[in-house]
Copies of this chain bind each other. A is one copy, B any other.
Amino acid sequence: MQQDKALKSVTLQDIAKAMGVSRTTVSNAFNRPDQISAELRERVLAMAKQMGYAGPNPMGRMLRTGKTGVIGLVFSEALPYAFQDPVAIAFLQGVSSVCEKVKASLLIVPTLESDVAQMTIQQAAVDGFIVYSMPDDSEAVAKVLERKLPVIVVDQPNLSGVPLVRIDDHKAAREAALHLLGLNHRRLGIIAMDLLSDSYVGPVNSQRLERAAFEISLLRLRGYEDAMREAGLDFNKVPIVECPPRNSENDAFEVALTLLKQDPRPTGILAMCDILAIGALRAAEHLGLSVPKDLSIVGFDDIPLASVIRPSLTTIQQPLIEKGAIAAELLLGISIADRDSHKTATATTDKIPDFVMGGVFDLNENPHKVLETKLVVRESSGPAPIQLR
C-alpha cells in the first residue's frame, strides 16, 4: 500500500506521521544521532527503510541551509575537448583531490558561448565557482559574476576584485625564448595558442593582437617578444601562426609545416603549449628535419607526454595539478597550512563542512596567487645549426 506512495516520493513528513512523531524527530534521526535516543532512532530508520524513504531530499536541505557542498567548474572549451586536453585534465586532478578531501562534489557546467545556454550557470546549485581559463569577453564569466558567489579564476580573465591563480606567463615565455637565443638561434618562429575564440588558424596580424581576448596568449607572446628584442632581433620579422590547441595535433602539424616551409627556415620554434610543440615535432619529422640538430622546439606546460615522447620536449614546467588544488583550496577557504589540523577536527562531524563561508573566504587577502614555473631542458632543443650563421 505504501509502495505506490513511494513513487510519489516519501517525505520526512510522511514517515513522521506514520510513526506518530514529529518531523524534527525524524530529521534528527538522520542528521543528529546525538539528539535522539538510540532506540527511537533505530525505529525511525527502520520505518524509513520500510516505507522506501530515499533519505532527506537534498533540494529541501539545500534550500533550508543555503549550502550545497558543491563547487562549480566552468571551462572555456566544449567539454569533450576539455577532457582531451592534458592541461585541463591535470588541473582537474588538482581540483578533485581537494574536493575529495573535504567531501565536496564537483559540478562541471557546460557553457557554450553564443548559446542562450549559460542558463546552466544560473541554474547551478553551487557554493562557488572556479573559472578556468576563459576569454576576457566571455558571457559565461559575466553570468558567473552575476551569481554573486565566491569565484576563483584560474589563468584568465583577470578581473578586478576576483582572486586569480596563475603563473607569470610573461616571464616564463621570456625564459623559453632566452633559452633558444642562448643557443644561438636567430631565426625563430612562434606557434601561438588562440588569441580570440573564433577557432582561427593561420598567421597572426596586428589586428588580432589588439583584439586578443585570451590574455595568457598575449602575455606569452610578449614574453617571447621581449626576449627577442633584448637579443636585438626584429620581432616584426618573426613569423607567428595561431592555432587553437584543442583541435588536436593535426592543425598544429599543418601550422608548423607552414612555418617550416618558410625561406629561410626557422631554426627554433617556440610553441605556446606542449600540444602545439608536439605538432611541430611531427611536422619536423615529416619534413625529414632532425630535432634538435636542424630544429629546436620549446613547448610550454610540461604535460606528462612531454617527457615521454621522443625526442622529449624542452618546455616550461608549470604546476598544473597544484594550480587546481590551490584554486579549490582558495575557494573552499582552506589555507594549505591549516588543512591538516582542520581535517582531524572536522573528521568526526558527519555533515558537510561549512567550507564556503563569506568570512573565511577573504577576497582582499592575497587576491593573486602566482605559481612558480621553470624551464625544463630536454632533447628537443640544442645549439643552432652552425652553417646557418
Contacts and interface: CB of A to CB of B under 8 A. Distances in A.
A93 B107 contact: no
Contacts of A263: none
Interface stretch (A35-43, A115-123, A176-184): A115-123
A46 interface: no
Contacts of A70: 107, 125
A4 interface: no
B109 A105 contact: yes
A104 B108 CA distance: 9
Interface stretch (A19-27, A54-62, A219-227): A54-62
A7 B150 CA distance: 12
Contact of A123 (B54, B69, B79, B117): B69
A28 B89 CA distance: 40
Interface stretch (A95-103, A189-197, A334-342, A376-384): A95-103
Given A58-B123, A59-B59, A63-B59, A108 B106 contact: yes
A225 B321 CA distance: 41
A365 interface: no
12 contacts: A58-B123, A58-B124, A59-B62, A59-B68, A63-B63, A68-B125, A69-B120, A70-B125, A80-B94, A103-B120, A106-B110, A125-B125
A99 B148 CA distance: 25
A92 interface: yes
Contacts of A54: 146-149
Contact of A106 (B58, B63, B107, B352): B107
A146 B55 contact: yes
Nearest to A143: B55
B105 A148 contact: no
Contacts of A58: 122-125
Contact of A100 (B56, B80, B351, B352): B80
Interface size classification for chain A? 35 or more
A200 interface: no
A388 interface: no
A52 interface: yes
A103 B83 contact: no
Most buried by B among A59, A61, A104, A358: A59
A78 interface: yes
A198 interface: no
This chain: copies in complex: 2
Nearest to A49: B146
A198 to B, nearest CB: 19
A89 B86 CA distance: 10
Interface string A120-148: 10111100000000000000000000111
Given A54-B147, A69-B123, A146-B55, A80 B93 contact: yes
Contacts of A149: 54
B79 A83 contact: no
B110 A100 contact: yes
Nearest to A122: B55
A350 interface: yes
Contacts of A63: 57, 59-60, 62-63
Nearest to A347: B116
Interface string A256-273: 000000000000000000
Nearest to A89: B83
A105 B120 contact: yes
A68 to B, nearest CB: 7
A260 to B, nearest CB: 22
Contacts of A66: 59
A119 to B, nearest CB: 7
A99 B110 contact: yes
Q: What are the nearest 6 A-B pairs in CB distance? A: A79-B96, A100-B110, A59-B63, A58-B125, A106-B108, A59-B62
